[in-house]
Amino acid sequence: MGIVERKEREKEEMRKLILEAAQKLFLENGFEKVSIRNIADAIEYSPATIYLYFKDKNELLYGIHNIGFHKMIQEFQPALSLADPFDRLVEMGRRYFRFAFENPEHFDLMFIMNAPMDALACRDDIWDEGRAAFGLLVKCVQDCMNAGVFKYQDAEVAAMMIWSAVHGYTALFLRKRLDMFEESRRKELMEDAFTLFIETIRKGL
């Protein structure tokens, strides 16, 4: 009597089909320029079908946001296995920015756009993906404290401060607020600001 199981499998596969077609279109054309109808066309189903698998567009974007987190966590792995906790922290910072730079649409969805958070708020659910990722950072900061690199002792507060600094220039860059600097100066400025931040917390935290 595996019919119900098969149906469930098919349902899951359909969700995946939609999600991956949507992701492909979004990454290719940007979020503003992709509609439910475009996605429906790509998978050769009617637009209404998508609403049988996702409550609304926010829910769909939330699904892609999840894929983004998987990708990011994976790309963080090499950083996490570095021996020195401070090196680990620096490498995590670099990878945060590099991920944003190489996957701007995913990063947008994960940390800037309203849509995925609205989907969560509607179900009044908690942002588990964000919590987990932040947890990685807190752990790393805690290791730095245990190793005596930082004198300050509240790892969560320190992690928040570090996340802010790295997220700040990443978000400003992505939303073109650093375009006021000429391209070569911009790259230099971001690199130097990051290095300066690292040196500052090494001395002052």
Residues that bind DNA (CB under 7 A): 1, 3-4, 6-7, 10-11, 14, 34-38, 44-49, 51-52, 56-58
Q: Decide whether 21 or 201 has the Cβ nearer to its own copies.
A: 201
Answer with the entry of its own copies, DNA, none that 3 interacts with (C-beta below 5 to 8 A by kind): DNA
47 binds, among DNA, its own copies, none (CB under 5 to 8 A by kind): DNA
Residues that bind its own copies (CB under 8 A): 32, 111-114, 117, 121, 126-127, 130-131, 134, 152, 154, 156-158, 160-161, 163-169, 171-172, 175-177, 179-180, 189-190, 192-194, 196-197, 199-205
- The alpha helices in the chain, defined as continuous H runs, are 3-29, 36-43, 47-53, 57-80, 85-102, 104-107, 115-122, 128-146, 155-174, 183-204
User: Which of DNA, its own copies, none has residue 167 at its interface (CB below 5 to 8 Å by kind)?
Assistant: its own copies
> What is the 8-class DSSP label of residue 31?
G
* Burial letters 119-129, b for 16+ CB under 10 A, else e: bbeeeeeeeeb
Binding-site partner at residue 69 among DNA, its own copies, none, CB < 5 to 8 Å by type: none
CB nearer its own copies, residue 15 or residue 202: 202
C-alpha pair distances (Å), 47 with each of 18, 24, 40, 56, 124: 11, 17, 5, 11, 27
> DSSP for 13-28?
HHHHHHHHHHHHHHHH
| CB of 188 vs its own copies, minimal distance in Å | 9
Q: Which is nearer to DNA, 19 or 90 (CB)?
A: 19
What is the nearest approach in angstroms of its own copies to the Cβ of residue 86? 14
* First vs last C-alpha separation in the chain: 62
